[in-house]
Amino acid sequence: MQRLKYLLVLMFIIVPLAAPAQWWDDEDDFWDDFPDDDAFYIEDYIDPNAEPDPDAGKYLRVRHFDIAGIRLGMNYEEVREAAKEAKFRLATVDYDIPQEFRFNYDSVCRARNIVIPNQLANCIEGLAKSEKMRFISKLTFRKENNETLITHFVSPVSNHTVWKIEYENNIDKRQGTALNFQYQREERRRAFWYALTMKYGQPNVPPNRWQLDPEDDSAPMLEAHFGRITLSSLQQFAADLKFAADEARRTFQVQDFNF
């Protein structure tokens, strides 16, 4: 009886040690042991020893950051040249008219008894062109390797320069849930974040933002997500909206009042 007890104890000790590594009946069972996909955050790719400097925003040269050679404040010709240098080809061009100027032209056209929708639209477009208020608001560039570059411009009232640049690639896409696809995406993510920090340094507003003034979200900033970068100045955009509205009100045509 005593010998049987020793044998049982020995079995409980040896069997776990000799057990084979865990195997899963299917891939779904394997992924159950991992956190959800949404749990893979940018924080996982940041240098854990890099401590943000609370005053770094005062010295960051965000205004001079570029994406593919394009910077905030560039004009149309400079953007086209920089994009060409970076091997991007122009895909689409979007036009716009400042809202209050559009309202002005609508008033002028209606005063001419032009009210049929398509004729009214043509009249507004014609007036905007004649006053150089129909402007290129967005240029979209692409590369054959699935990279996209979009530049947004303020109106001619503010000298028609870049206020936002968007870059996107497909590094965060994967073809399936197999281990090889997960591995490949994770390595692309690491390479992307490494390239970001090599070019722009560590973000001063963790986890993913380089900001001229950390206390002002309208200040020039660069914000990164996996496969996406946005460089923008909401201050410049908001100022343009105000300048355009003020100028439109100043030039609004009304009849003479004789009373």
Reply yes or no on whether the pLDDT at 81 is more than 50.
yes
- Which residues fall within 8 angstroms of residue 115, CB to CB, at 6 or more apart? none
Tokens of 85: 């240098």
Higher pLDDT, 16 or 180: 180
The C-alpha atoms of residue 89 and residue 139 are separated, in whole angstroms, by 10
CB atoms near residue 2 (< 10 Å):
5
Mean pLDDT of the chain: 83
User: Does residue 14 sit in helix, strand or coil?
Assistant: helix
State the average pLDDT over residues 97-122. Answer: 97
State the average pLDDT over residues 186-204. Answer: 92
Tokens of 47: 């240098």
Reply yes or no on whether the pLDDT at 52 is more than 70.
no
pTM of the model: 0.77
Q: 5: number of CA atoms within 13 Å, CB side?
A: 2
The C-alpha atoms of residue 221 and residue 60 are separated, in whole angstroms, by 10
202-228, pLDDT tens digit by residue? 898 888 999 998 889 999 999 999 999
| pLDDT for 61 | 79
Confidence at 145, pLDDT banded by 50, 70, 90: confident
Return the percentage of the chain with pLDDT > 70, whole number.
Answer: 77
Confidence at 131, pLDDT banded by 50, 70, 90: very high
| pLDDT for 204 | 87
Task: Return left, alpha or beta for 227; rule: phi > 0 is left, psi -120 to 50 is alpha, else beta.
Answer: left
Omega of the bond leading into 207 within 30 degrees of 0 (cis): yes
Reply yes or no on whether the pLDDT at 7 is more than 60.
no
DSSP type of residue 205: B
**What crossing angle do the helices spanning 99-111 and 234-251 adopt, rounded to 10°?**
20
